[in-house]
């Protein structure tokens, strides 16, 4: 039954991953989504189910999502707040994957960022993209972290990687190669710091 569940989750991830990506300056402190966004989000409300039996639930803000899934979530760094904060959609997928979606305020770029615990999803790929030509590379000067990058037919760049106990996926729509490379480098640096900071956290699922 557990194997079937994870198979269904993987299939849904494939169908639900929309375009987007996220970036961070290396000097930014690695904070969870709730820590970075709590002061700027609107008042919490009850989760909204997005389609049945769709396992995707929309939440009013990222702190509410963190409380629901029980682990910290990577969020946009402060230098991207002006153009992308707040997330236009905050989803939880099957109670195990955080899916944050952002739209550019000054252009048509779009960002999607996913965070999950590898020990829960039992995979290092939560991108939902299959059949693409993935290329493994280092993220700029970040030698210790290898990422897989794929460029889809519409030009969207998708990245998947893991760090510590966490797995991440992001996609960038409307970014060219010039703007994408520094974005990838800075984001992976902050994700590494995030994974190190929360390496010993205790999963805290809400009581049913």
Residue 16 clears pLDDT 90, i.e. is over it: no
Give the CA-trace dihedral at 134, 140, 143, 144, to 10 degrees. Answer: -70
Give 21-30 pLDDT, tens digit per residue: 333 344 455 6
**pLDDT level of residue 142 (50, 70, 90 thresholds):** low
> 33 pLDDT exceeds 50?
yes
Res. 157: pLDDT tops 90 = yes
Question: Residue 42: pLDDT above 90?
Answer: no
Q: Is pLDDT of 185 > 90?
A: no
Dihedral sign, CA of 10, 11, 16, 21?
A: positive
Length of the chain: 208
| Those residues with Cβ within 8 angstroms of residue 156's Cβ, 6 or more apart along the chain or in another chain | 19, 171, 172, 173
Sequence-distant (≥ 6) Cβ neighbours of residue 50 within 8 angstroms: 56, 57, 58, 91
Q: Alpha-carbon distance 109 to 144, whole Å?
A: 29
**Mean of pLDDT values over 151-163:** 95
What rounded mean pLDDT belongs to the chain? 80
Section 150-170 average pLDDT: 95
Task: Check if the beta carbon of residue 183 is closer than 8 Å to that of residue 139.
Answer: no
Q: What is the reported pLDDT for 31?
A: 63
pLDDT in the model for residue 76:
86
Q: What is the pLDDT of residue 54?
A: 59
């Amino acid at each position: 039954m557990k194997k079937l569940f994870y198979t269904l989750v993987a299939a849904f991830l494939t169908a639900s991953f929309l375009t987007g990506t996220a970036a961070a300056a290396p000097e930014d402190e690695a904070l969870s989504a709730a820590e970075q966004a709590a002061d700027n989000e609107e008042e919490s409300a009850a989760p909204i189910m997005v389609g049945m039996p769709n396992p995707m639930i929309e939440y009013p803000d990222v702190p509410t999502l963190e409380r629901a899934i029980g682990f910290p979530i990577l969020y946009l760094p402060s230098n991207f707040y002006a153009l992308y904060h707040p997330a236009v959609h905050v989803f939880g997928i099957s109670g195990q994957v955080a899916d944050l979606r952002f739209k550019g305020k000054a252009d048509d770029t779009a960002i999607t960022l996913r965070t999950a615990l590898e020990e829960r999803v039992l995979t290092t790929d939560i991108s939902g993209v299959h059949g693409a030509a993935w290329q493994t590379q280092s993220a700029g000067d970040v030698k210790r972290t290898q990422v897989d990058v794929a460029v889809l037919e519409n030009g969207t760049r998708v990245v998947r990687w893991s760090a510590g106990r966490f797995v991440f996926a992001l996609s960038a729509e409307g970014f060219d190669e010039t703007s994408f490379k520094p974005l990838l480098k800075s984001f992976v640096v902050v994700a590494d710091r995030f994974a190190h900071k929360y390496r010993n956290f205790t999963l805290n699922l809400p009581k049913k």
